[in-house]
Structure 1
Amino acid sequence: MSKNMQREFASRDELVAYLREQFPEAARDNHISQIVGGRKAAEAALEKVDAAQYAKSRNFLTGAVTRLSPYIRYGVLSLAEIRDYVLQKVKHQDEATKLINELGWRDYWQRLYVKLGNGIWEDQEPYKTGYKVEEYQQKLPEDIAHGTSKHVCIDSFSRDLREIGYLHNHMRMWLAAYIVHWRRVRWQTGAKWFLEHLLDGDPASNNMSWQWVASTFSHKPYYFNRENLERYTEGVYCRQCPLYGSCDFEGSYKELEQRLFPKGEFSNNRGSQSWQRGKKGRGEGKSD
């Protein structure tokens, strides 16, 4: 970066205007994230973290997620720093267990990245879905990319990804599952799309999470049903969806399993409790 570049600004709007002028080809569109960068903003976000509430509510869209991922992604905050801060703040160390466990998963993905390098773009294991690699398309469907699938939830996730550059971790899982399992698109395609837009997009956490959803880095695919999505979103999308009651996500897990994976290699006795055990076994909190 040039030493002659302006470094002091009267407002964020002035900063944005200056960056547009200096880097006209860098912006994809006119959307500006509300996430503020820098050490002060990172420290302010860290001070708001409530580990106990995080453990209880992190899977809900209105839950107490940390919003620290952009600062972790760019090295503004370290995993060890967050761990130490949280442990000092809680009354009982057990309250911090879930949050620290998720930091551990993030560290694990990074260590895998060091070992695998560009291999994180390769299937680590065969799909357990019953479909061959060549049966998955490589192009992202236009209706997903532009948010016109007519599923209010999926279209909203697509829009937020493109306009805000951030998605709640559960949104990422649902959107990834829809792309891979309902639309049968290779996980690499979806992973690249995410990295194009996510401000906290980290290749290690992103790719290995997509592989976990796809089943190329887990013993079975991750998928969801409408009941699951409605519960954790408190019905905010389902209430306004014209497809409610007849959407692609209707049915029990067993019914969806038979519909999506008629030749799947994993157990047919799934159910919501089996799904929960699988989720905990692999870990899901890569991007909170």
Structure 2
Amino acid sequence: MYFTPTRDDGLRRLKDFIPAAGIKYAQGRNYDRGAYAHKSVSQLSPYIRRRTISEVEVLKSVLGAHSPQSTEKFIQEVFWRTYWKGWLELRPSVWSNYQGALAQAKHDVMSQGGLRQQWEAACYGTTGIDCFDHWGKELVETGYLHNHARMWFASIWVHTLELPWELGADFFMRNLLDGDPASNTLSWRWVCGLQTAGKTYLARADNIVKYTEGRFHPTRLASYARALGHPDHPKPMPLSVPNAIEPSKPTGILLHDDDFGLSHLLDAAPKNIHAAAYMPSLAGVSPWHVSDTVQSFVDG
């Protein structure tokens, strides 16, 4: 496995990335050089996603070596992920609505032969669009895609292949090591024009040629990205704030694969943890099988 599912590996990657987190990152972050060659980006997202390392310690480490000005682009990327998580937590119905639409899309795939063939071609990388097919296979093989490739892939899925966006978001959730209900769902909605009013994302051939350094020269891409609807966001709901830990009382820990970060709990109640349980949650992210690569990473 290219990503070792341990905190030590996450910290090693962070240490290796710090020298490149400033201007070098800002200048090179958009270039997708292919599987196992993503040296211009941090590749920390699988670890941040499961919170084996935290956003705070990543930013503290980066800002210990660079000025806020030189590392602004990297800071923004970390904050985007955190922003999406907060946005969805305040509007949980967006996730449940997505799951409902995905269930309907699965029914359509199972009952409509033409749609099923298109969906299978997109998932197995047999559409004939070289870059798209390559990225799909890279994702399945490695559990990772460069962020720019994710945007191109999503745009081609929605605007060129005209497949339901929910099926594409699900393909990512089943295969991405850093697949997150918030950043994944809302990013796909943004590509479709459902997240930000008047904003869609169109994958352009010249942009792909430039930022893959000529590895791909796609043709037959959509020339227009039509919004699939208008953003109609639910009003934010009040956050449920957990009770503070009382160190004097016996404490039990329920661990789940959204958050493996335990240091704050252990610091708060180091001598009074009497029970621990683990609740896996991968089964709830997709009506299909989550990839063995993702399952192995989460299982450690």
TM-score, normalised by the number of residues in structure 2 = 0.64
Output the amino acid matched with 1:117: P
| Mapped partners of 1:111, 1:262: distance in 2 | 24
| Mapped partners of 1:94, 1:152: distance in 2 | 38
Aligned length: 206
| Mapped partners of 1:170, 1:263: distance in 2 | 21
**Unmatched segments (≥5 aa) in structure 1:** 1-32, 124-133, 239-243, 251-255, 266-288
Match of 2:21 in 1: 51
Residue 229 (str. 1) matches residue 208 (str. 2)? yes
Q: Deviation digits for residues 127-157 of structure 1, max 9, x if unmatched?
A: xxxxxxx9xx865622111111111101101
- Is the contact between residue 109 and residue 205 of structure 1 (CA under 8 Å) also seen in structure 2? yes
Match of 2:175 in 1: 197
Residue 79 (str. 1) matches residue 55 (str. 2)? yes
| Mapped partners of 1:150, 1:212: distance in 2 | 26
- Is the contact between residue 120 and residue 208 of structure 1 (CA under 8 Å) also seen in structure 2? no
Output the amino acid matched with 1:45: R
| Mapped partners of 2:177, 2:4: distance in 1 | 11
4+ aligned runs moved over 3 Å, structure 1: 137-140, 260-265
- Is the contact between residue 199 and residue 227 of structure 2 (CA under 8 Å) also seen in structure 1? no
Q: Residues 166 and 232 of structure 1: is their aligned pair in 2 closer, same or farther, counting only changes over 3 Å?
A: same
| Mapped partners of 1:86, 1:248: distance in 2 | 41
Of 53, 64, 71 in structure 2, the residue corresponding to residue 88 of structure 1 is: 64
Q: Percent identity?
A: 33
- Is the contact between residue 166 and residue 198 of structure 1 (CA under 8 Å) also seen in structure 2? yes
Residue 248 (str. 1) matches residue 226 (str. 2)? no
Output the amino acid matched with 1:249: L
Residue 105 (str. 1) matches residue 71 (str. 2)? no
Residue 169 (str. 1) matches residue 147 (str. 2)? yes
Q: Deviation digits for residues 214-256 of structure 1, max 9, x if unmatched?
A: 1100222101211010000001123xxxxx6xx2138xxxxx1
Task: Give the 3-state SS of the residue equivalent to 1:89 in structure 2.
Answer: coil
Residue 36 (str. 1) matches residue 12 (str. 2)? no
Residue 145 (str. 1) matches residue 115 (str. 2)? no
Shift of 1:190: 0.8
| Mapped partners of 1:206, 1:222: distance in 2 | 15
Q: Deviation digits for residues 168-188 of structure 1, max 9, x if unmatched?
A: 001111110011111222221
Match of 2:137 in 1: 159
Match of 1:10 in 2: none
Output the amino acid matched with 2:64: Q
Output the amino acid matched with 1:146: Y
Q: Give the CA RMSD over aligned residues.
A: 2.4
Q: Residues 205 and 112 of structure 1: is their aligned pair in 2 closer, same or farther, counting only changes over 3 Å?
A: same
Task: Give the 3-state SS of the residue equivalent to 2:91 in structure 1.
Answer: helix
Q: Residues 121 and 55 of structure 1: is their aligned pair in 2 closer, same or farther, counting only changes over 3 Å?
A: farther
- Is the contact between residue 200 and residue 227 of structure 2 (CA under 8 Å) also seen in structure 1? no
Q: How does 1:179-194 map to 2 (within 5 A)?
A: 179-194=157-172
Match of 1:220 in 2: 199
More strand by share: 2
